[in-house]
Structure 1
Amino acid sequence: MLLPAVPSLPLTVTDQMGRRVAVPFPPRRIVSLVPSQTELLFDLGLGERVIGVTKFCIHPAHARKTATVIGGTKNFHLEKIEELQPDLIIGNKEENYQEGIEQLATKYPVWMSDISTLAESLDMIRRVGLLTGRKEKSDAFVSEIQASMAALPPAVELKTAAYFIWRKPYMVAAAGTFIDDLLVWAGFQNAFSHLSRYPEISAEQLQAAAPQQILLSSEPYPFSEKHIAEFNQLCPAATIRIVDGELFSWYGSRLRHTAAYFQTLK
């Protein structure tokens, strides 16, 4: 059920890109352009207010049934969003494209996250809770995540790891990414920390890096057991495993389960 637009007092907030945004408070018609932030909104009890999501917003499973699918994170359909008449759009600097965000911001309040560390993800959760009228619940999520991550036993020695996000061409998560920060929490040293963001690498570069572990993410490329032999040939001395990409890269309320998963990787 779509909630009708009603007059609201504006709340002026600053997003994680330093932009000042005036949001009707509380917002009643929210479009989320980021899967992990969609899940956060639903977990905050705001499902009835989420009227638009992307085709990649797979959690919760019913999100794409109760809300209008407005396209992907990089190619959302502006006309569909316009039909929804949102009073708040939530996006992310890395996952969405600048031109589309700028167009939306001329008509609607657009709040943007910018996340490359666990600390920044917790800040996002707090701020989203504040601007949607769910401060108490978002603060509780943050406290839960902080406590679970702090309870992780310290690694005696960080194992070097290469974290693959794509195949053909090979691409890894390197420095300046949220995954790179979480690798440390999981007890790993990124074998490609000397590179930036999500570089393409060659088989020769992988062999030269000689990581102790190769982590094949379940997303965005759907690595599976059938790919292990391919990497075994390149790095026979490495331990190769498939890892849950959502628990390494989703920076919303799913982080409540991340520490327990990291314990299984020890």
Structure 2
Amino acid sequence: MRRRILLAAPFLPLAGAARAEGWPRLLEDGLGRGVAIPAPPRRIVGIFASNVEMLASLGLVPRLVGIEAYTRFPPEVVNLPKVGGRLGFSAEAIARLEPDLVVMTPARQAAHLLIEPLSRLGIPCLVVLHSDLPRIFANIDLLARATDTEERAAELLRGLPARLAAVSARLAGRPPVRVFLETSSTGRGAYGTPRPDTYTMDILIRAGGIPALPPLPAAGPAQVSGEAILRADPDVYLVAGRPDQAAEVARRPGFDGIAAVRQARVHVVSRAELLIPGPRAVNGVESVARILHPEAFPA
């Protein structure tokens, strides 16, 4: 009965939390929604690896009580209860964990499926969008204000932009390198690659790259054909995956004629650093910059 009363009155602070200075807080999330958080959250559900990584960077692993099935970092969270996965998410599973904050992105219909039922239960939901690296930094700041971890965020947000600035300084005056990033392969001659105006493309550009292929259309699969890659003839070919996947590129029909293959400039890169929009994206800028411009980073 006590739980039902608390759910029915979501914005009445709990005893002891009512006197916390600066609370309750009203924050605006990535969808422009006003989200009221009564007190510093103590039980957080993080949906998607990127959001868990940002929460972890703020020292919030001890407060996490649930994740989705494909979150693998940091290792301390992998055994937490799962609230969904590739096939969808369960508002009931989340509610059973009694969270006082849920963080999500709109991917896989998470926001569409969860915001309304969780809001009816009085569980605050923050939706974040990751369009580029500055937006990732802004999301870290938002989560810090939502969780009373501003001091930790301030330190983090001094270091990450400074590292980007150091890369920019090393690359100043150097022409960008024509690059193709393969993020997936269908096995039938189609290859995934990032769209423009995404955090992954922002990483490549900040690392001193320029897309070898024309921009993908806004709609439809984020894939290109092998023929399109051959015509583009990239100078550097990056594979987000395993070394054996990068080694396989040269064995594809016709790919031995690509400049990147002829010059032995096919490299494996970290999926976590390029495809998960969290603090490690800055690692991705640094590592890709060293690949594209090795002369700018002497040993």
TM norm. shorter chain > 0.5: yes
Mapping of 1:48-197 within 5 angstroms?
Answer: 48-65=62-79, 67-72=80-85, 75-94=88-107, 96-103=109-116, 104-107=118-121, 108-152=123-167, 153-154=170-171, 156-168=174-186, 169-192=190-213, 194-196=215-217
* Structure 2 segments unaligned to the other structure (5+ residues): 1-5, 7-12, 18-22, 294-299
| Residue 234 of structure 2: aligned partner | 211
How far residue 12 of structure 1 moved from its aligned partner, in angstroms, is: 0.9
How far residue 255 of structure 1 moved from its aligned partner, in angstroms, is: 3.9
Identity in percent: 24
Moved more, 169-178 or 89-98: 89-98
User: 2:283 matched to 1:257?
Assistant: yes
Residues in 2 aligned to 1:246 and 1:232: alpha-carbon distance in whole angstroms = 29
Q: Go from structure 1 to structure 2 and tell me whether the alpha carbon gap of 1:230 and 1:33 turns closer, same or farther (over 3 Å shift).
A: farther
User: So what's the TM-score if we normalise by structure 2?
Assistant: 0.78
How far residue 242 of structure 1 moved from its aligned partner, in angstroms, is: 1.0
More helix by share: 2
| Residue 246 of structure 1: aligned partner | 272
Contact 2:42/2:100 (<8 A) preserved? yes
Residues in 2 aligned to 1:142 and 1:125: alpha-carbon distance in whole angstroms = 8
Moved more, 122-131 or 99-108: 99-108
Q: Go from structure 1 to structure 2 and tell me whether the alpha carbon gap of 1:98 and 1:126 turns closer, same or farther (over 3 Å shift).
A: closer
Alignment deviations for residues 150-197 of structure 1 (CA, whole Å, 9 cap, x no partner): 001125111111111111141110212110111111110022452246
How far residue 251 of structure 1 moved from its aligned partner, in angstroms, is: 2.4
Q: Which amino acid aligns with 2:62?
A: E
How far residue 123 of structure 1 moved from its aligned partner, in angstroms, is: 0.5
How far residue 233 of structure 1 moved from its aligned partner, in angstroms, is: 3.4
Aligned length: 259
User: So what's the TM-score if we normalise by structure 1?
Assistant: 0.87
Alignment deviations for residues 44-83 of structure 1 (CA, whole Å, 9 cap, x no partner): 2212211011122211112022x21222266223321121
* Structure 1 segments unaligned to the other structure (5+ residues): none
Larger radius of gyration: 2
User: 2:220 matched to 1:201?
Assistant: no
Contact 1:117/1:181 (<8 A) preserved? yes
Q: Go from structure 1 to structure 2 and tell me whether the alpha carbon gap of 1:31 and 1:172 turns closer, same or farther (over 3 Å shift).
A: same
Question: 4+ runs of 1 displaced by more than 6 Å?
Answer: none
